[in-house]
Amino acid sequence: MAACPFGVLMVGSYPGGQRANVGVPRKPHGCPGGKRVRVESTPRAIAPEDAVQPDPPHYPLFVVITHALNILFLLMLGRSGLGVLSSFPKLYWNDGCPPGREWARFSRRAYGADSRRPWTSLDEEESWNPVVTMPGGKNLGLSRHWHFMTLHFWIATGLVYLALVFISGYWIYLVPTSWSLVPDAIETIGTYLHFELPEPLPGQPFNATQKLAYFSVVFLLAPLQIATGAAMSPSVIARFPWYAKIFGGKQGARSIHFLGICAFVGFVLVHTLMVVLHGLPKGLAKIILGSEQASHTLAVAIGSAVLFAIVVIHVLLTMFARLRPRTTQHLLGYVVAPFEGGLSRIFTSHQRYRRSDVSGYHRVNGYPPVDPGYEQMAADGFRDYRLPVGGLVENPVSLSLPRLRELGWATQITNHNCIQGWNSIAEWAGVPLGALLDLVKPRPEVTHVVFYAMDDKGLTEGEGRYGYYYEALPIFLARRTQSLLALEMNGGPLPIEHGAPLRVRVETQLGYKMVKWIKVVEFVDGVSAIGLGQGGYREDQLYYANAAAI
């Protein structure tokens, strides 16, 4: 170090291993008046001990390992996140998602609220290449499985990293301790724009811009991604409606979440460029092997091998998911299902929206039944409709709509959350599910209540899928306060496209669990013998999760 009456000037090393030039003017830290000082020096012979000085421990082993894991997990989160986005490739700032008012659309398909041809939200779904998305194609269920499974490991990696950062004292390289870092960072950016490499901060491996960027990514961007992700969970925002409002509603959180992914991508690209500009072989030697004097060839070989392994892992996992979707659904479900099921049990809906909050447009997902029996019943105003309720109950019944209304009545204005990503606020009125349970008295061994619909998906949906729609709900969800058999919507009779004569409302779950056009209700002690045994039509055919809390 060279002393001066105004402060201290470090003769340190760049992250790439370059020595600082003491003849370069620097802004002294802590000098009165903040004046620049040029310290002139006379060339001197390099002492033997100066020739090979050990690098300071700027890159401990835990930084190297978590760095590699972050590359793996962030790439998985990004690819699977794009798979989720492909199902509803539009972004809004306001809840309700009125067609044509999105601020971003990643599709050539455009549908209007006044379209002459009937359409559903599934018509907006895109099929993106598996090179980009994980696992690619129209695989929303598996994309969500990969996203939420990876999230567990990414958060765990981050928590371990943060713990070691503060235990080891490494935080001093990441956390700004003075506001002077901001003007220093601006000055450093100017240095880059002049095609020069700025010096690192005294005694640290990073310059001011790098330090500010790393702090922002670790302590601001990553938590923001987790927070906005939670603001898209139907269970979370049903229990805490105020939480999503922090981000402008669910769609605001969804848009911020997308922009956060873009910020991660931008950071990675710029970060990689900086490593190259500062000297790639030296930088890899310092980061991977702990010293820029270590073998550059070995460092490049190890770095290349790690990146190659990450690519191979992604290729193999994507291929496995596409070739063995059911196995993938089950394996990833071991990680995701307990968390999602726990949210379903812990959180109850406390939604109390106002009528002024009701969305002007409410998307439809699924075409109505096309069989003549349903059409005739609809033409007669559902006067002859009967709802059989049976299974493992003490009092099986068959109820007309007037008899059903006599069981009780409730009205609620709630937020409907579709698994594709759109949401809409509407007023629903009908019979509390709890009143139906009190009437039929389920036996103690009952675990689920199954709702069977009148629509044959082989006729209304196609794409190689078949069978009548059904979904199974855990019995504890059926007893929740805002679990409803809806007969009305927005102050009028339930429209056919939204499930007339009867549909389910379970406000902490995603929309695919809320069966429309209900034909039969059955109480069971398990779901393995129903359909393909996964607990619902979407779970059977599209590999969705059985719990739908996130």
Q: Is residue 517 part of a domain?
A: yes
Render pLDDT for 299-329 as a digit per residue (tens, 0 to 9). 889 989 999 999 999 999 999 999 999 999 9
Tell whether 39 is covered by a domain. Answer: no
CA quadruple 308, 336, 364, 236: dihedral, nearest 10: -120
Domain count, the chain: 2
Q: Looking at residue 42, what is its pLDDT?
A: 39
Q: Identify whether residues 456 and 538 lie together within a single domain.
A: yes
Same domain? 300 vs 400: no
Q: Which pLDDT belongs to residue 6?
A: 32
Say what the pLDDT of residue 280 is: 84
Classify residue 309: in a domain, yes or no.
yes
| 299/159 same-domain check | yes
Mean pLDDT of the chain: 88
**Confidence tier at 41 by pLDDT (50, 70, 90):** very low
Give per-residue pLDDT as tens, 407-444: 999 999 999 999 999 999 999 999 999 999 999 999 99
pLDDT at 14 over 70: no
Same structural domain, 302 and 207: yes
Find where tokens 């996992």 sit.
317
Residues 168 and 315 in one domain: yes
The secondary structure element, H or E, covering residue 280 is: helix 280-284
- Residue 389 and residue 264 in one domain: no
**Cross-strand bridge partners of residue 451:** 471, 521
pLDDT at 88: 97
> What is the mean pLDDT of the segment spanning 518-528?
97
**Residue 301, domain extent:** 61-70+139-343
Please determine, for residue 331, whether its predicted confidence score (pLDDT) is greater than 90: yes
User: Could you tell me if 442 and 525 lie in one domain?
Assistant: yes
Distance from C-alpha of 20 to C-alpha of 10, rounded to nearest angstrom? 8
Mean pLDDT of 261-268: 94
CA-wise closest residue to 410 among 356, 482, 473, 499: 482
Residue range 69-82, pLDDT digits in tens: 999 999 999 999 99
397 within a domain of the structure (yes/no):
yes
Q: Are 290 and 57 in contact (CB under 8 A)?
A: yes
Same domain, 439 and 478: yes
Q: What is the pLDDT of residues 51-107, one digit of tens each?
A: 333 444 567 889 889 999 999 999 999 999 999 999 999 999 999 999 999 999 999
Global pTM reads 0.86
Q: Which of 63, 3, 73 is nearest to 31 (CA)?
A: 3
Instruction: Give per-residue pLDDT as tens, 344-382.
Output: 999 999 999 999 999 999 999 999 999 999 999 999 999
Of 304, 321, 343, at which residue does a domain stop?
343
Which of residues 3 and 494 earns the better pLDDT score?
494
Does residue 16 register a pLDDT over 50?
A: no
Task: Report CA 422 to chain centroid distance, whole Å.
Answer: 14
Residues 328 and 395 in one domain: no
Of the pLDDT bands very low, low, confident and very high (cuts 50, 70, 90), residue 115 is: confident
DSSP-assigned states of every residue in 229-241 = HHTT-HHHHHH-H
Confidence at residue 57, expressed as pLDDT on a 0 to 100 scale: 52
Whether the pLDDT of residue 1 is over 90: the answer is no
Picking from 343, 359, 374, the residue at the C-terminal end of a domain is: 343
Degrees, nearest 5: CA angle 406-408-413: 130
* Residues 389 and 282 placed together within one structural domain of the fold: no
How is 171-191 classified by DSSP, letter by letter?
GGGTS--STTHHHHHHHHHHH
Whether residues 446 and 488 share a domain: the answer is yes
Paired residues of 471 in beta bridges: 451, 536
What pLDDT band is residue 203 in, cutting at 50, 70 and 90? confident
366 CB neighbour count, 10 Å cutoff: 22
Report the alpha-carbon distance of residue 164 to residue 65 in Å, rounded: 12
